[in-house]
Amino acid sequence: MGHTPLPGGGVRYDLATRERRRLSVVAHADGSRTLSVYRTDDPDAGALSLRLSADEAAAVIDAVMPARTPAHRGAGTLATAELGLVAERVGLPAASVWHGRPLGDTRTRTDTGVSVVAVLRGTGAIPSPGPDFRLAGGDTLIVVGTREGVGVAAGILGRE
C-alpha cells in the first residue's frame, strides 16, 4: 500500500486488492475519510466514493477488524480511538531526505506531538526507536497521535 501526503495535512492511501480492484482512502485532517473504489475496466474511473465521519470510519474499521472491538480485546489492550488518538503506518519514500539520519532530526514528536512507536524494516520490527535511531528509505513507521498530528507527521516524514 502506498501513501501520498496531501496539502492541508491529509494523507491518501492507495492499494490494489487480490482481485486487482484499485482502492484509495483519503485520511482528512479533521479525522474523516473518503473511500473510493475504481472500475476494473478503467482504473482511473470511480465506481464508488464515500465520505465517512471519523466515527463512521471507526465503525467500519471495527466491522472489518473485529479483534479491535471491546468484546474481543484483552484487558490490557487500549483502543486508540476511545482516547482520541490514531495509530497509522507512515512509509518513508525510497529517496527520503531522512535516509541515514537520526529519527530525532525529523522533530516529529517535538513539532507534532506524534510518537513513533515502531519501525518496520524488511521483515523485522524495531520497537520504541530512540532519537538516535537511523532511518532508511523504505522504512515504515508506526506512529500514534492525534488525527491532525499524524497528518502533519506524514507530511514531514514523506519528504523526498
Q: Does 109 score more than 60 pLDDT?
A: yes
CATH code (residue 35): 3.30.70.1450
Instruction: Report the number of distinct structural domains present in the chain.
Output: 1
Question: Can you give the C-alpha Rg of the chain in angstroms?
Answer: 16
The more confidently predicted of residues 62 and 112 is 112
The more confidently predicted of residues 133 and 159 is 133
* Domain boundaries, position 85: 2-157
Tens-place pLDDT, residues 38-73:
888 887 788 888 888 777 777 776 666 655 444 444
Torsion of CA 92, 16, 146, 79, to 10 degrees: -120
Helix, strand or coil, per DSSP, at residue 78: coil
